[in-house]
Amino acid sequence: MNKDQRTLADRVKAALAMLGRTSSLGEDRGDVVAVTVGNHTVVVAEAEVLLRGDAFAERLLANASRDEAALIIVDDVPSRLDSLVAKRIFDVIDRESTDTRLMLALRNAFELLEVRERAENRARWLRRYRYEAGTLIESARDLARERDMGKLLATVLERCRFLAGADAGSIYVVEGTDADVTRRQLRFKLSQNESLALPSGEFVMPISMRSIAGSVAITRKLVAIEDVYNLPADSPFQFDPSFDKRVGYRTRSILAVPLVSAQDEVIGVVQLINKKRDPRERLRTPDDAIEHVVPFDERSIELVASLAAQAGVALENATLYDEIRHILDGFVRASVHAIEQRDPTTSGHSQRVATLSIRLADAVSLATDGPYKAWRFSPSDLRQLEYASLLHDFGKIGVREQVLVKAKKLYPWQMELLRARFDLLHRTAQVQLLERKVELYARAASVTELSQVEEELAIRAGQIEAMWSLVRDANEPTVLPQEASSRLDELGRLNYVDLRGNARPYIDPDELSSLKVARGSLTAAEYREIQLHVSHTFEFLSKIPWGKSFSQVPQIAGCHHEKLNGRGYPRGLKGEEIPVGSRIMAIADIFDALTASDRPYKKAVPVDRALDVLHAEVKDGALDGELLRLFVDSGAYRAVLT
C-alpha cells in the first residue's frame, strides 16, 4: 500500500464500490473527502487536517461531536492522535490499509449513523408521546374535576387548541335532545384567538348540513379542511367569509370534532381554526395565514379526537351536575315555600337569614386579623351554608300550625268561648235582676226598691265588662304587669252556675295559665314544642343524601339555636362544639327576628336596638363576639334592610 499513488478520493471511491451503496462525494480537498449516503455523511480525512487545529479542523470535529457526521482518520502513526480521542472520531486506519479495510470502516460508520438516527427518532417520538400522553392525562384530570360549565368549555377549547397547535377556535353546545329534533339547535358559547382580541357573544343557529359545525353534529364525524376558501364543489357545507373580512383575519385550515356523551349523543362541537407551523407565530394579517398556516395533520386529529372523547363525557357530567344542582336548589326553595305556607307570619325570614349568613361568611373570608383571619369559605362552603340557612326552620312542619301562627296568648277559638262565657254571665245577671224586678212589681214595691235593682244591674254589667277588659288586655303578647297577674288570679277563683246548675270557673286553669304568660304569646309547653322544630329540622335533613359537598347541612341547620355558653337548644352544645356556620346563622337569625316587620305579634325593633341586643347576647356569652364585630364592621347586616 505504501506504493499506492491513488488519491484519497480514489481510495474512497474504490471502497464505496465494494460497499455497493449509492453515494455521492462532497467536499474533496485531497486530504479530506466527504461521503454522503442518504441522510448521513462520513468524512475521511488525513490526520494532519485535524492536528492543524485551524477553523476547518474545528468545524469537522464539531460536526462529529454533534453526531452530524462520522470521522475516519487516515494516518500511519496512530499514536499522534491521542489528543483527538475525545473528539468523537469513529475510526483510524493507516495509510497502508487495504480498500477492504476502508470499506469496512465506511460501512460501520454509516451503520452507526443510522443506528444513532433511529435512536434519536425513537427518543423524539418517546418524548413527544410522553408529552402528549401527559397532556391528555392532565387534561382528563382537569376536565373531570371541573364542574363549572363556563370554565369547562373554556378548558376544553384551550386544551384542544394547544394539542393541535391551532391559532383560534370556537365551541358549540347542542340544545335539545335527539328525541325532539325539531327543537335542536347549536348554541355558540365562546371563541378563542391568539392573534386577535375579538369580542365574543352567545348566539344560536339551526343544526343543518349547511354549516361545518352543524354537519359534524348531524353526521357525528369530524371534518378536516385544508382551506375553507377552496371547498370542493360538492361540499354539503359552506363557509361564510364575512367575519374574516370584518376583522381582517384569514381562516384557512379547520378541524371540527363532535363532543359525544356517554349516552352516545352529540352534545357539542369543537371547531379549531388555523394550525400553525410554529405555535409562537401570530397571524396579524391574511398574508400571515398564507405563510404560516398548514393543514391539520393526522397526529393532531388523533389527539384532538381523543381529548374530545374525554371532553364529551366531562361535559355531560358537568351538565348532569348542573341539572342535579338545579334540582337540589329547586327542592330547597320548594321546601322553604312549604314552611312559609304553614307559617305565613315569618314569610321571607329563611331567605333573609340565608342572605345575612352569606354576607357574614364573605366578611369572615376577607378577615385579615382576629381568630378568623385564616378561615376561608369556598364556593361549596357558601352553598352549603346557604342551604342550611334556607332550611333552618324546616322542622316547623312537625309543629302544630296553631302554635306556629299563635299571635296572642289565647287561640282565637279560646277567645270566642271566653267572649261567649262573659256574655252569658252578663245575660245571666240581667235575667236574675229582671226576675227580682218582676217580683217587686208583683208586690207593688216602691220606686226606690226598683231603682236599686237597676243600679245593681248596672254595677254587675260594669264588673263583667271590667273582667273582660282584663282578659282582653292580658291576651296581648306584651309584658304582663304584676297587678294584672294578681287580678287574673282573683278572676280564676271566681265561679258561676251554668244552665245545668254546675259551678264553673270564669276562666279555666289552661286559659289562666296562658293569660299569665309574662311575655310573648306562648306557654312553657308551647315554647318547648316550638323548640322541638330544631330537632325536627336535623332529623328531616339527615334523611336526605346530601353528598360530600353538603354533608354538614343537617348539622349546621340543627345547631343554629345553640349558644356558646351551653344554654342553647336542643343539645346544649358549647363553644367549639358549635359549627362556625351555625354561629354565623345564629346572629343572622336573631337580627332578622328582631328587625322583621312581618310579625303580627310584635313591632319591628330599630336596627340600633337590635344590634344592642346582639351585643348583650355576646356579653352574656351566648354569641360569638368576633363574628358579631365582622357582622357590624362589614355592614353585612344592611343586606336585608330596605
The rounded distance, in Å, linking the Cα atoms of 395 and 374 is 33
Most confident of 476-480, 514-518, 580-584: 580-584
The rounded distance, in Å, linking the Cα atoms of 429 and 494 is 15
Residue 269 above 70 pLDDT? Answer: yes
CA 520 to chain centroid, in Å, comes to 43
Alpha carbon separation from 476 to 394, 467, 493 (Å, rounded) = 27, 15, 22
What is the structure's pLDDT at 323?
A: 83
pLDDT tens per residue across span 359-412: 999 999 999 999 999 999 999 999 999 999 999 988 888 778 777 777 888 988
What kind of fold does domain 8-119 have according to CATH? Rossmann fold (3.40.50)
The rounded distance, in Å, linking the Cα atoms of 349 and 574 is 26
Mean pLDDT on 425-450: 79
- Those residues whose C-beta lies under 8 Å from the C-beta of residue 360, and which sit 6 or more positions away, are 584, 587, 588, 627, 630, 631, 634, 636
Residue corresponding to grid cell 361564510: 240
Q: Which position has the higher pLDDT, 281 or 364?
A: 364
What kind of fold does domain 343-401+526-640 have according to CATH? Hypothetical protein af1432 (1.10.3210)
Residue 55 above 80 pLDDT? Answer: no
Run of H or E including 168: strand 166-175
Residue 614 above 90 pLDDT? Answer: yes
Tally of helices (H runs) and strands (E runs) in the chain? 21, 14
- What mean pLDDT is reported for the chain? 84
pLDDT tens per residue across span 73-115: 777 666 666 666 556 677 778 777 888 888 888 888 888 888 8
pLDDT band, very low/low/confident/very high, at 306 (cuts 50, 70, 90): confident
Q: Which position has the higher pLDDT, 641 or 620?
A: 620
The rounded distance, in Å, linking the Cα atoms of 286 and 249 is 6
**Least confident segment among 21-35, 475-489, 522-536:** 21-35
Q: Are 410 and 514 in contact (CB under 8 A)?
A: yes
Q: Are 169 and 273 in contact (CB under 8 A)?
A: yes
Run of H or E including 90: strand 89-93
pLDDT tens per residue across span 149-203: 888 888 889 888 988 889 999 999 998 765 555 678 999 999 999 998 877 788 8
Question: Of the candidates 289, 294, 344, which has an alpha carbon nearest to the alpha carbon of residue 598?
Answer: 344
Q: What percentage of the chain has pLDDT greater than the value 90?
A: 30
What is the structure's pLDDT at 456?
A: 83
Q: Which position has the higher pLDDT, 5 or 37?
A: 37
Q: Which CATH superfamily is domain 146-321 in?
A: GAF domain (3.30.450.40)
Residue corresponding to grid cell 384532538: 304
pLDDT tens per residue across span 492-511: 888 888 778 888 888 999 98
Residue 23 above 70 pLDDT? Answer: no
CA end-to-end span of the chain: 111
Residue 578 above 90 pLDDT? Answer: yes
Report the predicted TM-score, pTM, of the whole model to 2 decimal places.
0.63
Q: Are 173 and 187 in contact (CB under 8 A)?
A: yes
The three-state secondary structure class of 311 is helix
Cα atoms in the 13 Å half-sphere on the side-chain side of 637: 25
pLDDT band, very low/low/confident/very high, at 309 (cuts 50, 70, 90): confident
The rounded distance, in Å, linking the Cα atoms of 103 and 111 is 12
What is the structure's pLDDT at 1?
A: 41
Q: Are 51 and 80 in contact (CB under 8 A)?
A: yes
